Amino acid sequence: MTETTPVIEIRNLHKAFGALEVIKGVDITARKGDVVSLIGSSGSGKSTILRCANLLEDSQQGDIVFKGEPVKWKGEGLNRHPADPRQVLRIRTNLSMVFQQFNLWAHMTILQNVMEAPVSVLGRDRAEAEAAAHGYLEKVGIADKHDVYPAQLSGGQQQRAAIARALCMEPEALLFDEPTSALDPELEQEVVRVIKDLAAEGRTMMIVTHDMKMAGDVSDHVVFLHQGLIEEEGPPDTVLGAPKSERLQQFLSSTMAA
């Protein structure tokens, strides 16, 4: 991999659920330090693209390339699956995903949640992983919550714990799937602040979001999806500030009015 090799490259991606094609040929690139936001109405394919990039969903056509390394496939169409489980694990551990619903383990403390994957998946020394976990909890502003359980935290605190867990894997890129949509507006801002800080550090991120202000503030590139295709894309000032397509104008108008 060279400095100019994209961290994530998606080429001509197609994804169907049975007879329903939800992604119809999409190209997206995220280079080192890029923040790419995917926006669009519900059902436009945003989250599905993220899950395909992280190999949580199998795509039927197209290439997914991580740091210059294409995913190896076997089979075709609806029978296409990754050919190398070790490659899947390696890519997944380098593309940490933060989900809408936090997905924290209820029976573990916040510290245990954050340090579990580096120890069990990456084989890191437990003491080193614990020290790193404390550092990332401090980074997201909940260091004092390390010994409590998820149910004792607010939604915003749980999502920040989930971000600390993703960071503790020390990934090449972070994938956020609607990280603030399950939160009340006040709690949402706690999480937005953390994401802005990560963007300011130059971390590579792909973000599926309904928050147009956050997309405008943190993104280098915004992709507007409509019915499984890219309708419009470009710098946030252009896409969000001077939309060309009628469909994007309607979407932004309804989003701002909500």
At residue 74, the pLDDT reads 97
At residue 258, the pLDDT reads 55
Model confidence pLDDT, tens digit, residues 101-140: 888 999 999 999 999 999 999 999 999 999 999 999 999 9
At residue 3, the pLDDT reads 66
Q: Which residues of the chain have pLDDT under 50?
A: none
d(CA 87, CA 93): 10
At residue 89, the pLDDT reads 93
Beta strand 229-234 with 221-226 is antiparallel
Q: Give the sign of the dihedral formed by CA 246, CA 248, CA 250, CA 253.
A: negative
Domains present along the chain, CATH in parentheses: 8-75+93-215 (3.40.50.300), 229-258 (no CATH)
Question: How is residue 210 written in tokens?
Answer: 């309904």
* Bridge partners, residue 30, by sequence: 8
d(CA 204, CA 67): 12
